[in-house]
Structure 1
Amino acid sequence: MTINNEKISRQTMLALLAAALLSFTGILTETSMNVTFPELTRIFNVSLDTVQWITTGYLLMVTIVMATTAFLLKKFKSQRIHLFAAIAFVIGDVMCATSPTFSILLTGRLIQAIATGLSTPLMFHIIFNKIPAGRIGSMTGLAGMVISLAPALGPTYGGTVSSTMSWRMIFWLILPIIVISWWLGSHYIRIDPVGTGSFDILSLALLATTLFSMVFAVSKAGKYPVFSSAVVLPFLIGLIALGLFIYSDTHGSSQLLDIKILKWLSTSLSAFTYFVLQFVNIGVSFLIPVYCQYVLHTSPFIAGLVLLPGSLVGAAISPYAGHLADIKGYALPIILGLISMTLGGGIFFGIQSLLTAWIILLVYSFLRFGFNMGFSNTISNAMLNVPEQYTADVNSFFSMLQQFAGSIGVGIMAAVMAISQNNGTGNLAARSFIGGRYDFLLATLLSAAALIATIINFRIQRRHQSPQTN
């Protein structure tokens, strides 16, 4: 058992704060603009399908940038990476706040996404390089609180600001936080690069094509038949690009990230679990406000507010989950979390006809308890089960996977809801009820699959027990 009274220096804590502030603010803006979509369609005279790329494009850019961090963290000083990210966020933020056209708003969002894509892996990089082994679980729990709380608070923040002031103030109000992060990072982030190598631009292009094509195909599935060319063609392009990316990354002279980390079955199972956790978390966070408005006929404010208690529960439990892992090992909190998520999804599905805003609030809080028990502990467990030279690759891959899971989770659950609304029978509420039922079932089945994968994973780890995994 590890010792948990190891000291963490003041410099390390302030370095973590710098990265966490930038990461939190970036993730907050991922979902804060969702509530402004109807207003933006009127202001910029564009369709809702176009406006939604403010969020989808943001998530994709974050995912693509995260894929580069394994190289960047090995090649450049962490202080310079943070400085670049902070400057990029300020530039993008001001562009969004002053944008006269939709194209400038979208461009600003994509520049902001570059900052978020760098800051989140940087936060974990600081943890795994500066935090004593016996405190890693607790600190990744705090990092998980940042990652999981921010997107759930986004709709509440965006809705409150846009309804009381202006949607542009969503960007102006967060600017001082970035300036503080900028100052802290320039003074306290101190991690030197640990490797060399050339950058694989071909692999990055292929990965970007893969991610964009997959999300684009999913976005079209809600409007067109699943087996239509509008859906199948981009999906096939994504599969081809994925195959070429794998070949390029494993056979080229340079690597974007070392996907050979997946040769360890334990890492692959952890990656699947991590993907499912974020898929269900972000997907259900999208689904519930939509379900409340279409089926329960609540106001947009109430629909967003239903998520807030669960977000606070998750934020409170995340540090404890990491502390529990430090004391008892990672198996207990991760398995307990996935049991809670499976039960939460099952309750949504099983008593759907009885759901009210209050019941949804309670069940969602239970589901978020499970998510935060398992989320950060999953990446910590994966990191401690690979040789040290692969930790940057695990960090980059899991961070990228987290963002892709969120974007594809929203896309698939939105597509399922749209298919039911466009092709079902009865009024809109009845059709939305059916779409919600399929989505709740999907969340339950995926959580159960991740639970099984996790149980298998820890059985494998016990057979190859080492002091690091205790």
Structure 2
Amino acid sequence: MSATTQKNPASAGGDDFSLKAILPPLMAIIVGMIMVILDSTVVNNAIPKLVEYFDTDLKTIQWTVTGYTLALSAVIPLAGWLTDKFGSKQIFMITIALFTIGSVLCGIAQTPEQLILYRIIQGLGGGMVAPIGMAMVFKLAPPERRGSIMGVLGIPMLMAPAFGPVLSGWLVDSVSWHWIFIINLPIGIIALILGYKYLPKSDRHSAPHLDVIGMCLAPIAFSMLAYGVSEGGTSWSSTSTLTGLIVGGVALILFIIVELRQKQPLLELKVFKSSDFTRSIILVWIVQLALFGAMLIVPLYLQGVMHYSALETGWILMPQALCAGIGMPISGRLFDKIGARPLAFAGLTAVSVALFILSGISVDTSLWVIILCICIMGLGMGFSMMPLNTHVLNSAPRRLVSRVTPLTTAAQQVVVSFAVAGLTGYLTSQITSHAASAGANANPLDAVVAGYGDTFFLSACIATAGVALTLILRKPRQLKEEDITGGENPDPAMMVGH
């Protein structure tokens, strides 16, 4: 460690550790992650206004979302190598700066093509913020306190999406759509100042090998799969959908083959040899399939069937995030004592119950029933997501944490895309099916509501499968002395990388 490298709070023993010691660097990471997560939610509410302002169609403006998502998924796999090469603090600061610059450019865009291009620039910066930030937070605390710290980190990760639609609705209606992007400028500056001052410095390391083939295949695989899934929301049999899925699938297979043969892989896929890791990450994917798909369906129902505005929908959804925020720190503290298995079981059971209730939805269902269900889902999310994510990291060898975090983040990005596009496509097909079987004299709204009920039922079944899988979840076998002495693991002062 260089003489100028700040002391890492995690190097202190568990008895000497305190949240106050890591609060400044933790705040730098949280502010940066909030900015990126907020931006992922605010644009959806502004789509109709952007169509009107640029005098274009929805298909064109939708690329402001699709292009951003593609850029996110393309750069996530590069986070591990870049932090190994240049240090986590340096790359984290660069990505925040790039995202902030992209935000300002979006705010002054004059054409839809410019806005799409600038959103891609945003995505190139924002894609690495989450994996790098989570790996840094993971190494800020000693093993016995990681659950609590990850629980604290989880609060803004869930609160930001809740306030995003509300903030977007207010800015678009009361100020201007430009400000949903320009508002990132002061937030980005604050994150850069905090990061420069408080993030522990990490030395640069010479990377003996750059996985060029993997570096080329990974963006192709993840971006084309994301593109195919995005297009699949309209039609799973269209040429664009099939092209994206086939090209992305072939690239992904080649990428896996290359990575398994590399001595210095871009993503450490050998970690899947750990049965504990594999079981826990599959469970995380199931939770995301059930939760994130349903989180899209609920606002669609509120706006499309119950005719609430986007701003009103944001306020209605807020209790869900508040309940998740309540559950996060509680589950974090309990994780340190009892592990992930009972928490994941309780959380997923709550989600399953809420979704099964929503599957019986009808035109006469009260708004309060929906609010109750989404609150239960929020608590379930709060009790399951962060313990499972922490369990995934604990299941991997500590020396591979910097490589595992980009792997899990990239995979989760693709899974969420499949959840959103898959459930949207299922919803559309079920509505069409119910309308066709009901006949010409039936109330069209009944077919729509029945389609939503079927979609909630599918999500409930997925969540129930997750409940069953929690029963085989085990506490990872770890050598405690490796976390104390370091063994072959990296210096704890290094947030990510060697």
Same fold (TM over 0.5): yes
1:429 to 445, 448, 459: 445
Deviations 1:11-40 (A, max 9, x none): 632111111101111111101011111111
Q: What secondary structure is seen at the aligned counterpart in 2 of 1:199?
A: coil
Alignment of 1:7-26 (within 5 A): 7-8=17-18, 12-26=22-36
Structure 2 Cα separation of the partners of residues 217 and 422 of structure 1 = 22
SS in 1 for 2:471: helix
Which range moved further: 209-218 or 191-200?
191-200
Per-residue deviation at 1:299?
2.9
| 1:40 has 2:50 as partner | yes
Partner of 2:459: 443
- Deviation of residue 320 (structure 1)? 1.3
Over aligned residue pairs, what C-alpha RMSD do you find? 2.5
Query: Looking at CA atoms only, which structure, 1 or 2, has the larger radius of gyration?
Result: 2
Matched residue SS, 1:377:
helix
Counterpart in 2 of 1:176? 186
Cα-to-partner distance string for 1:137-185 (whole Å, 9 max, x where unaligned):
0110111222222223221111111111111111222321111110010
SS at match of 2:156: helix
Question: 1:254 and 1:428, CA in 2 relative to 1: closer, same or farther beyond 3 A?
Answer: farther
Aligned sequence identity (%): 25
Alignment of 1:39-438 (within 5 A): 39-192=49-202, 196-224=207-235, 226-227=236-237, 229-252=239-262, 254-352=264-362, 354-421=364-431, 424-425=434-435, 429-438=445-454
After the TM superposition, which of the residue ranges 277-286 and 262-271 deviates more from structure 2?
A: 277-286
Q: In 2, are the aligned partners of 1:60 and 1:407 still within 8 Å (CA)?
A: no
Residue identity matched to 1:408: F
Which stretch has the larger CA shift, 164-173 or 251-260? 251-260
Q: TM-score of the superposition, structure 2-length normalised?
A: 0.86
Q: CA deviation at 1:303?
A: 2.3
Q: Which moved more, 1:256-265 or 1:400-409?
A: 400-409
Change (3 A) 1:50 1:453: farther
Post-superposition CA distance 1:109-133 (Å, at most 9, x none): 2222233222212222222222122
Superposition deviation, residue 351 in structure 1: 4.4
Q: Return the alpha-carbon distance in structure 2 between the equivalents of residues 212 and 34 of structure 1.
A: 20
Q: Structure 2 stretches of 5 or more lacking a match?
A: 1-12, 436-441, 482-498
Q: Deviations over 1:294-342 (max 9, x none)?
A: 2223333322222101111111221111011112222221221111111
1:28 aligns with 2:38: yes
SS in 1 for 2:33: helix
Counterpart of 2:221 in structure 1: which amino acid? T
Distance 1:428 1:144 in 2: 41
One-letter code aligned to 1:135? R
User: 2:341 corresponds to which letter in structure 1?
Assistant: A
Question: Which of the pair is proportionally richer in helix?
Answer: 1
Shift of 1:244: 0.8
* Corresponding residue of 2:471: 455
Q: Within 1, Cα distance between the matches of 2:212 and 2:418?
A: 24
Equivalent pairs counted in the alignment come to: 463
- The residue type paired with residue 138 of structure 2 is F
Q: Conserved in 1, the CA contact under 8 Å of 2:132 and 2:406?
A: no
Q: Provide Cα deviations, 1:379-399, integer angstroms capped at 9, x if missing partner.
A: 211222222211112211122
Write the distance in 1 (CA, Å) between the matches of 2:345 and 2:17: 29
Structure 1 residue runs without a partner (length 5+): none
Residues 400-446 of structure 1: CA deviation (Å, up to 9, x unaligned):
23322333222222222333455652565334323312321221122
